[in-house]
Homo-oligomer: A and B are copies of this chain.
Amino acid sequence: MKIRLVNAGIFTPVDDIELTLAPPAEGFYWIDADVEDLALLQPVFNLHDLAVEDCLSDEEQRPKIEIYESHYFIVVNSIRFDDEEIFLRALNVFLGRHYIITVTKQKINELRTLKPILWEQEVSSPDRFLYLLVDLVVDNYFAVGDRIEVKIEKLEEDILMHTKKSHLSEIIGLRGEILWLKKMLGPQKEVVNTLNKKDLRLIDDQLQKYFSDIYENAVKISETFETYRDLMGNLREAYQSSIANRANEIMRVFTAITTIFMPLTVITGIYGMNFDNIPEIHTRYGYYGVIGVMVTLGCGMLYVFRKKEWL
């Protein structure tokens, strides 16, 4: 657990948690806590039991905002794209009048990225800290969206160039990821909308329009995911068409073989007839001649088909 007094871009480490009970002369306290620290923090800040339970729970947490007497409890999901896999990490925030407590189970990138921004923008209030944090969290969805777009485009090109059966499961997998992200983003959007629209005591009125910007971004991402879903439909279509066309080509080869041998069958049939008077039959090299004709005819047909690019 790290406690810092943040004031106009300056971070002063605070040793004693008791100090944070009273509002500082200027700035606010930022307590960057692990889940374990909650036992210590709860009595000090009078954190709501349900909220603390949520933080401790091992289940996947849905983004939400809860309004308590002295503080708000906010959960957002930080997103990360590592080695072609997407991870969600819950970020729990307790927002008070003069403090903000961030509780995380694993390291969350956004908190690291936030520090220089806090310094640059000389942030002096916990609600503005919250705004910057949520902004970063939502922005990361954009980045993940871009990665997914790249994946879609690569898959599309792959499918068009040389369709493989395995592409189908790739399509289904990617489609699942997109739907999952879309669903994850939904409640996140609602959290931001609450921060934006509702008249919240702990959030400065001036800040509301900033949250409205984030909300717009979240809506934009949501629409992008909707577009991706459509693109996946196109991909599915391209895959199925492509598979059908490939199947057609194989069929063509099969059919061509049959077609080439058909006239040969007729020829053998002709000389298999039992007519008394078939003069060719009695010639010395008739058999070889017929075999020769058959080979020539077969090769000739093959040649013609090739030349016409039918094969």
Contacts and interface: CB of A to CB of B under 8 A. Distances in A.
A254 B261 CA distance: 11
Given A244-B244, A265-B269, A236 B238 contact: yes
B255 A244 contact: no
Interface stretch (A10-18, A32-40, A274-282): A274-282
Interface stretch (A45-53, A89-97, A214-222, A283-291): A283-291
How many copies of this chain are found per oligomer? 5
A249 B270 CA distance: 30
Contacts of A290: 273, 275
A16 to B, nearest CB: 38
A270 B244 contact: no
Nearest to A159: B236
A112 to B, nearest CB: 22
A109 interface: no
Given A160-B168, A241-B244, A261-B263, A287 B291 contact: no
Contacts of A274: 271-274, 278, 281
A153 interface: yes
The 3 closest A-B CB pairs, nearest first, are: A268-B269, A271-B273, A275-B287
Interface of A: 153, 156-157, 160-161, 168, 171-172, 175-176, 179, 233-234, 236-238, 240-245, 247-259, 261-278, 280-287, 290-291, 294, 310
